């Protein structure tokens, strides 16, 4: 399948950290606009820090860059820049993560972030017909009390959000820590997802399913180590949002050829392809599909992965039927 054909496959992006779409050029221009000092001398210096060895080495750079995002307009600009690229890659529906606890530490209220991102999504709806919504992510290496306080804050605006997620440093921060937070989120009407089995073990995927009652698992690639878990995911059609280029760049897999994607598909798991933090990991969603094509997936298999992304989304049934 040519990369042009890959880009015209209608698809949904379900695992995308909007802060991870911040390109170095925009980071430096927002730093200047907001009078924020970045701990990098220039764009080239920042790019040299992209040689990640694991998840934490990436998160250190990612959180440092997020400090340039201060105003509602910054978040709108960020979202619009991403959504333009997504539209060009055949994305018709986006469920976008954001990390309010990190912005709060920079003095930015969650309402400012929500307003800015929603304005970006509204503009993409008008310009490109893109649908979607926001998934508020709990930063799991911050105290549980901070997550509880965030829930207090978003309560009145929960109807403007699609869901709740769980991200950041995984090992040592098991999903069960956030059982009460996710229960409260469900009571607010939020859909539930969580990062699990990226660097952490298959046991964390089980915990996300049992303690948090997630409807999708973000990454989930370590599920490959547990045949019973694979059978459970397949039987209950719990989708995985897999991010191949992210897994390579953060060394969650030794190389692309060693990625368990094919084995997950062969186990009958509903797998989707996503970009995670495209500015940092060397490619947007079209590049991730191209990486999968390079693994030997044929046109029918790639079309199935794209269809899975629509099926696995939280779009309503009418919208899903339009897109498939």
- Between 131 and 168, name the residue whose CB sits nearer to ligand ES4: 168
Query: Mask: binding to ligand ES4, 246-265, rule CB under 6 A, as x and -?
Result: x-------------------
Q: Flag whether 195 is marked binding.
A: yes
Q: Per rule CB under 6 A, is residue 309 in the interface with ligand ES4? A: no
Q: Per rule CB under 6 A, is residue 13 in the interface with ligand ES4? A: no
Measure the CA–CA gap between 280 and 246, rounded to whole angstroms: 8
The 3-state DSSP class for residue 324 equals: coil
Neighbouring residues of 28: CB distance < 8 A, sequence distance ≥ 6: 38, 42, 43, 46
Q: Per rule CB under 6 A, is residue 74 in the interface with ligand ES4? A: no
Distance of CA 309 to the CA centre of its chain: 13
The site for Zn ion (CB under 5 A) is made up of 276
Given candidates 9, 14, 20, 292, which one binds ligand ES4 under the rule CB under 6 A?
20
Query: Of residues 13, 170, 198, 199, which has the active-site annotation?
Result: 198
Measure the CA–CA gap between 273 and 292, rounded to whole angstroms: 9
Long-range CB contacts for residues 1-4, cutoff 8 Å, separation at least 24: 1/293, 1/298, 1/299, 1/302, 3/286, 3/290, 3/293
- Between 246 and 313, name the residue whose CB sits nearer to ligand ES4: 246
Given candidates 9, 14, 17, 130, which one binds ligand ES4 under the rule CB under 6 A?
17
Tokens of 273: 């392809």
* DSSP assignment letter at 272: E
- Between 120 and 220, name the residue whose CB sits nearer to Zn ion: 220
Q: Is 198 tagged catalytic?
A: yes
Tokens of 36: 């924020």
Q: Per rule CB under 6 A, is residue 193 in the interface with ligand ES4? A: no
Binding-site sequence positions for Zn(2+): 15, 17, 195, 276
Interface contacts to ligand ES4, rule CB under 6 A: 17, 20, 55, 62, 167-168, 195, 198, 246, 276-277
Active site residues: 198
């Amino acid at each position: 399948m040519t990369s042009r054909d890959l880009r015209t496959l209608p698809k949904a992006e379900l695992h995308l950290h909007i802060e991870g779409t911040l390109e170095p050029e925009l980071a430096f221009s927002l730093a200047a606009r907001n009078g924020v000092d970045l701990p990098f001398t220039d764009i080239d210096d920042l790019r040299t820090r992209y040689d990640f060895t694991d998840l934490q080495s990436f998160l250190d750079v990612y959180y440092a860059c997020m400090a340039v995002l201060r105003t509602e307009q910054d978040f709108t600009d960020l979202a619009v820049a991403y959504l333009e690229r997504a539209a060009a890659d055949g994305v018709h529906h986006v469920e976008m993560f954001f990390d309010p606890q990190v912005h709060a530490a920079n003095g930015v209220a969650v309402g400012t972030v929500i307003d800015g991102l929603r304005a970006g999504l509204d503009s993409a709806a008008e310009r490109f017909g893109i649908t979607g919504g926001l998934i508020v992510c709990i930063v799991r290496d911050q105290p549980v009390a901070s997550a509880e306080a965030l829930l207090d804050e978003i309560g009145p605006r929960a109807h403007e959000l699609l869901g709740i997620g769980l991200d950041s440093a995984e090992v040592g921060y098991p999903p069960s820590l956030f059982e009460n937070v996710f229960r409260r989120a469900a009571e607010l009407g939020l859909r539930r997802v969580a990062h699990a089995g990226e660097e952490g073990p298959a046991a964390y995927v089980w915990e996300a399913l049992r303690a948090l009652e997630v409807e999708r698992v973000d990454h989930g690639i370590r599920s490959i180590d547990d045949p019973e878990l694979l059978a459970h995911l397949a039987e209950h059609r719990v989708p995985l949002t897999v991010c191949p280029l992210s897994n390579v760049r953060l060394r969650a897999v030794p190389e692309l050829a060693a990625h368990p994607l094919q084995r997950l598909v062969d186990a009958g798991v509903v797998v989707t392809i996503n970009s995670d933090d495209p500015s940092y990991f060397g490619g947007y969603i079209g590049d991730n599909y191209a990486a999968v094509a390079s693994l030997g997936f044929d046109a029918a298999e790639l079309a199935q992965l794209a269809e899975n992304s629509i099926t696995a989304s939280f779009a309503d049934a009418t919208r899903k039927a339009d897109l498939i």
